[in-house]
Amino acid sequence: MDEQPPTPNPHTPDPPNDPVHRGKGIPESPESIDLEERWVVPSGALGQPCSIYVYGDCRPVVNGVAFAMADMLDLAPLWLEVRDPQDGHEEPTVVSAGWIAPDRLFLSDSGSGLEPNDAVANLALWNVVRSDEPSEVLADLTDFLRLPLLIQEVIGHTTTESSPRAIVVANVERVQHLFPQEPGSLRRFLRSILNRSVSLVVAHTGSPVEQRSAFNAVFRVHASTLAAWNVGSLECERGLMRGPYSVGRPRRLSHIPSVARVLTGLQRVDR
């Protein structure tokens, strides 16, 4: 029998696909319970796809927060992780915790599969697009075919499930040079994903990029280490203008139940 992933309460373990104890109640003290957690992500309550940029200095915490946000949008988010074969430091991830099923896991070594796809897209359009197609159809198809092949593959796996779906791209800083550098081009890139009823959550470790304004929402994670995540905070920098998580109102990570449970689970994996 497969080993259950670590959970905050070892006496009532959750199944691997439920790391945040969905629907099981919250064992934390009353002051830590945030009844307005639905306000963390934009458009989530309306079932509309959105794009979210999460950044900070501690990779496990940033990736964990991104996963928790995607989990709020989709009961079974897909995970695309950019790995660095030269990095021998092993850190706890949602993958090592066993929370991502094999059919929802996609890996890229040093950006493989995430290269620009303009030439292939142009060739495909030349061969398959009829000249009498409406201009908006051509534009949408062109933008989609220009997406990196691995992104297209991940999106393809969302079409068999009910919408909306969510995709996390973890460690995006390792391939930021491969993505559009102009805000306008990045917006078209993001729109081609959102048009497929797919939300995108990007996890970036380190200094943020200026183009992050193209995302619907931007969050900064203040946490120095995974061991000290419970004194860290989440701050919205863009996108949420009202509610308890609006711009300029940082909240303790330990006061966001879904985030706290993910980070607690990762911390147990790290022991």
Where are the domains positioned within the chain? 75-84+91-211, 217-271
Q: Is 163 exposed, middle or buried (0-12, 13-18, 19+ CB in 10 A)?
A: middle
Contacts of 29 (CB under 8 A, 6+ apart): none
Residues 53, 57, 62, 63, CA torsion sign: positive
Looking at the whole model, is its pTM more than 0.95?
A: no
**What local confidence, expressed as pLDDT, does residue 8 receive?**
37
Average pLDDT, consecutive stretches of 10 residues, N- to C-terminus, the chain (271 residues): 40 41 37 61 75 97 96 91 82 91 93 77 55 62 84 84 83 91 88 92 95 95 96 95 89 93 90 66
Give the helix/strand (H/E) hosting 195: none
Nearest to 19 by CA among 3, 40, 33, 5: 5
* DSSP reduced 3-state for 48: coil
Contacts of 97 (CB under 8 A, 6+ apart): 5, 6, 19, 265, 266, 269
Nearest to 116 by CA among 170, 186, 25: 186
**What local confidence, expressed as pLDDT, does residue 16 receive?**
41
* DSSP reduced 3-state for 90: coil
